[in-house]
Amino acid sequence: MATVEIERIAGEDDSGLILNMGPQHPSTHGVLRVILKMDGEYIEEAVPIIGYLHRGTEKIAESETYTQILGYTDRMDYTAAASSNLGWLVAVETLAGIEVPERAQWLRCIVGELGRLAGHLVWIGTHALDIGAMSIFLYAFRARERVLELFEELCGARMTHSVMRPGGFLEEPRDPFYRKLEDSLDYFLREIDQFDKLLSRNELWLGRTIDVGVISGDDAIAMGLSGPCLRGSGVAWDIRKTEPYAAYDKVEFDVPIGTGKGDVFSRYLLRIEEMRQSVRIMRQVTEHLPPGPVMTDDSRVGRPDTPRLYTDMEAMINHFWMYIHGFPVQRGETYCAIEAPKGELGFYVVSDGSGKPYRMHVRSPSFVNLQSLPYLVKGRLLADVVSVIGSIDIVLGEIDR
Amino acid sequence: MSTPPLVAADTIHERVHAVLGEKVTAADTLRNYLTIEVAARNLLAVATVLRDDAELRFNYFGDVTAVHWPGETQEYEVVYHLRSIPDNRRIRLKTRIAAGESIESMAQVWPGADWPEREVYDLMGVKFDNHPDLRRILMDEDYEYHPLRKDFPREGL
C-alpha cells in the first residue's frame, strides 16, 4: 500500500527525507499511517493513509435487519459505543416512525453521556501519554473503569453493549444501577478536577499544546470539521442544541468552546469542560427521570410479553417474524445526526420497504476531522504531529468502518 | 452565543425555489428535511448559489454518498447533505448519473468534500471531475472493484 503516495511526495529530485509513521505506531491510536516529507525536523507535507481496519460495515448492513445492525455500530467508535448505538437508533426510529417513551428518552441521555465520558477519558489518557504525561493515563483509565462498571451494571457488557433497541430499551435498568450512578457522579467530578490541576497550568503541557495545530473558525467550517475540533475554533455548534434528540432539549447544559483559538490547548480545555457538562446532564436526568415504560408498545418492534408468547399463537408468529425478517420500515430515506464525542455522527438510511435497509451510510466524525491533519501539521515539528493527532481524537474503527 | 432553532424546511424551500427556479426538478419537505433534485450538469452552479446566497448561506459540507439503483437508466444517485452553520438550516441535494458518467466535484465549492468524495469514488465508482486528488481511500490502491455496488456479492467474489 501507499507506494503511489511515497513516489508522489518524494518528487522528481528525490530531495528531503520521507518518514513513515504507523500503522503500528502507538501514538497513531490504532492503525493510522502517516507518510511525512521532512525538511530537517519540520514537516513539508503529510499524507494520511487509512483503510487498514476497513470491514465493510455499510455493505454488511444491506443484508442484516435493522436490529442486527445495532451490533455493528458498537464496533465503529469502540471507545464510546453507546453514542454510535444512539445515532443508529435515532435514524431508524425517525425513518420507521417509532415513538419512544418519555422515560427511555431521558435514560438515553444517561447512556449517551456515559458514552461521552468513556470516549473522552480514553482521549485524555492517550493524548497525555503521547505528549509525555504518563501518570494521567493511569488516572484516566481508573476513572473509565468506573464508567465501564456502570455499563456492566446496566446490561452486563462493558465495551460493546448495544443496551438500547429500536423503540427504547430492552429492559428497565435495575435499582443498583441508579444507586451506583448517583454515587459515581461526584467521583467523576473529582477525577476531572484532578486532570485539570495536573495539566491546565503545567508548563510542559502548555508548551506542547498552545499555538500548535491552529485552525480558524471559518477554515474549520469549510473543511467540514465537527465536534470539539469545530468548537475549539470558537464555533459553538453542538447538535444536542441545534437538532435535539433524546431528551437533550429538556436538560440544561453549556456548550464550551475552550479558548476559541483553535489550537490543541483549546480543544483540550473544552473536552475537560464537556466532561463536567456530561456529569451535569446525568445529575439532572437522575433527579427528573419520569416514571413509565422504557419500551414502546408499538407492536412492530415491541417484544411480546413472555407469558403471552407461550399461550398466544399470534404473539408467537409475531415474535419469530420480527427476529427472522426484521420489522418492515416504510419506503423512504432519512439522514439523522447526533453529537458523538468526536463530532457529528450521521446515518443516511434508504429503505425499500423490507426489514433490511437498501443502503446505509455513515458520516463518521473522525473520518472528516482527520482530513484536516495535513493542514494542521504543515510547517510544524515532527513532535507536533503526535499532539495534533491526539487532539483531533480519532478512532480508526470509525474512520475505516 | 445561543443557538438558533432549526429553520423549518418550508421556509428554506421558498427561498431555494426563488433563487434556483427551474433548475430544481423535484422537491419535498418530508420529516422537516428539504430535499431537492437537480440535473448533474447544473450541480456546480446550484452548489455555488446555495453557498453564496445571503439568505441561504449553506457554508458547511456535511456529507456525500451514493446509492446504486441497477436497472434504471441513471443508475447512480449521488446525495449531498449541507448545513448552514450560523443559521441552522439543512438541505439534501440529489442528482442522478448513468454508469460511466462523471460529476463535478464539490471540493471546488467546499474543501471539506475532499475525503468524502474519495470514499464515494472508492466504494461506488462514481468519478468526480476537477477533484484535487481523486484516489482510492479505504481499499487498496490496486483493488479492481467498487464494493458498494449492488452487483458486488457480499461473499464469494
B116 touches chain A (CB under 8 A): yes
CA distance B66 to B69: 10
pLDDT of residue A14: 66
What is the nearest CA distance from A400 to chain B, expressed in angstroms? Answer: 7
In the numeric block, the cell 475525503 is attached to B115
Q: Does A242 touch chain B (CB under 8 A)?
A: yes
| Residues 6+ away with beta carbon under 8 Å from A162 | A70, A71, A74, A81, A85
Give the range among A69-83, A166-180, B2-16, B121-135 with minimum mean pLDDT: B2-16
Domain limits, chain B: 9-101
Q: Are A330 and A40 in contact (CB under 8 A)?
A: no
| Phi and psi angles of residue A345, each rounded to the nearest 5 degrees, phi first | -100, 110
Contact B60 A94 (CB under 8 A): no
DSSP A266-306: HHHHHHHHHHHHHHHHHHHHHHHPPPS-SB---TTTSPPPH
pLDDT at residue B80 tops 90: yes
Task: Kindly report the pTM of this predicted structure.
Answer: 0.90
Q: Compute the distance between CA of residue A361 and CA of residue A383 in angstroms, rounded to an integer.
A: 35
With 60 as the cut, is the pLDDT of residue B1 above it?
A: no
Q: Does A313 touch chain B (CB under 8 A)?
A: no
Label residue A191 by pLDDT band (50, 70, 90).
very high
Give residue A237's Cα distance to chain centre. Answer: 16
Burial class from Cβ neighbours inside 10 Å (0-12, 13-18, 19+) for residue B72 reads exposed
Query: What mean pLDDT comes out for the span A206-212?
Result: 90
CA distance B26 to chain A (A): 15
The yes-or-no verdict on residue A6 having pLDDT over 60 is yes
**Tens digits of per-residue pLDDT, A306-325?**
777 788 888 888 888 888 88
Q: Is B52 on the interface with A (CB under 8 A)?
A: no
C-alpha to C-alpha distance for A236 and A213, rounded to whole angstroms: 19
Q: What ipTM, to 2 d.p.?
A: 0.91
What share of chain B has pLDDT > 90, as a percent?
Answer: 28
For the cut 80, the answer to whether the pLDDT of residue A221 exceeds it is: yes
CB A48 within 8 A of CB A308: no
> B65 contacts in A (CB within 8 Å)?
348, 359, 361, 363
Predicted pLDDT at A123: 92
pLDDT in tens, A28-55: 777 888 888 888 889 988 989 888 889 9
Q: Which of A10, A2, A375 is CA-nearest to residue A223?
A: A375
| Residue contact A222–B139, C-beta within 8 A | no
Q: Which of B1, B116, B138 sits opposite A51 (nearest CB)?
A: B138
Interface test with A, best of B61, B79, B82, B83 (most A CBs within 10 A): B83
| Three cell numbers written together for A56 | 465493510
Q: What is the mean pLDDT of residues A128-145?
A: 90
B99 in contact with A, Cβ within 8 Å: no
Which of A63, A221, A335 shows the shortest C-beta gap to B81?
Answer: A335
Please state the CATH superfamily assignment of the domain spanning residues B9-101 in this structure.
NADH:ubiquinone oxidoreductase Nqo5 subunit (3.30.460.80)
